[in-house]
Amino acid sequence: MSDVEEVESRVRNLSQNALAQFREWFHEFENEHWDQQIQADFNAGKFKEIIATAREEFAQGKAREI
């Protein structure tokens, strides 16, 4: 049995209360992972072109602050 299959099996066997606690923990875990990935992409300069385009469009009046 693979690690993923083992986790799936164990999650399926959780009580409703334990499943709710796991769901909340996993949601936070995913959010932290996502934040770290976005920060790494930003630090690597992956958003420079998008930011430059947005600033240019804003300066041209094609966009507005929200």
Q: Mind listing the pLDDT tens digit for each residue in 11-22?
A: 999 999 999 999
Q: Check: CB of residue 22 under 8 Å from CB of residue 14.
A: yes
Q: What is the dihedral of CA 49, 50, 51, 54, to 10 degrees?
A: 120
Determine the structural domain holding residue 62 and report its residue range.
Answer: 24-66
| Domain presence at residue 1 | no
Domain count, the chain: 1
Q: pLDDT tens for residues 6-63? A: 999 999 999 999 999 999 999 999 999 999 999 999 999 999 999 999 999 999 999 8
Residue 17 located in a structural domain:
no
Widest CA span in the chain: 58
| Position 31 in a domain | yes
Query: Which pTM does this prediction carry?
Result: 0.67
